[in-house]
Amino acid sequence: MSKGNWLLKAFKIIGLVLAMGVSMSGCADTLSWQEEVKLLDGRIIVVAQKRQYERAYNGSNFGGVPRESWLTLKLPETGNQEITWHEKLKPSNLNIANGKLYIVGIPPTSREFYLYNKPRPPYIGYVFENKAWQPIPFNEIPVDIYDMNLSIDSENYIQAGHITLADKTKELRDPTLPKVFKRIDSSYKDPDDHK
């Protein structure tokens, strides 16, 4: 084999490997788990969560970036019907206030932040009304439900398939966890946002 043919073959192999890496980096993983959630009225319920992750390069290695979330539950407030919330957000709060069921989500990356029109503060609320999830303005999220009660860093716990209240208590006691991941902060401004 001549030097030119060998070089051409080497470039083709390198190109194939790179193409495979790029296509594999776009693959998505879906993870599911059950999670215990304590409501304001003291009830402890179990919800089913599912999250789709996109493989992405973060500058030093490949990891999963959350892209879509599903949260499924059944309560008397939903007519004892199983309902599912599905958005391109990470759910942080699920609670009942004034007889209404609410979910609050946070954009996991700047892609979703822009997709949801750059919300400030970066929390997006929903209320379950007329058998559907309805988006609501930030000022309609009841202050009573500001304490987050869904797992923030679920990736550390979902391998077991079940997140307990004790897991979340431990998570919330972590001194390195920013306060904005423990309670909704109406004055929160993303540190990357210099406007």
pTM for this one? 0.80
**pLDDT for res 156:** 65
- Region 57-74: what's the mean pLDDT? 83
Residue 80 included in any domain: yes
Residue 192 included in any domain: no
**pLDDT for res 148:** 93
d(CA 195, CA 189): 9
Residues shown for the chain: 195
**pLDDT for res 19:** 36
**pLDDT for res 6:** 39
Highest mean pLDDT: which of 21-25, 137-141, 173-177? 137-141
Tokens representing 80? 């004892």
Q: In this predicted model, what pLDDT tens digit does every residue of 82-117 receive, in sequence order? A: 999 999 999 999 999 999 999 999 999 999 999 999
Domain count within the chain: 1
Residue 49 included in any domain: yes
Structural domain span for residue 103: 27-181
User: What whole-number percentage of the chain has pLDDT above 70?
Assistant: 76
pLDDT reading at 18 higher than 70? no
- Region 173-181: what's the mean pLDDT? 86
Helix runs in the chain, H state only = 3-25, 110-115, 165-173
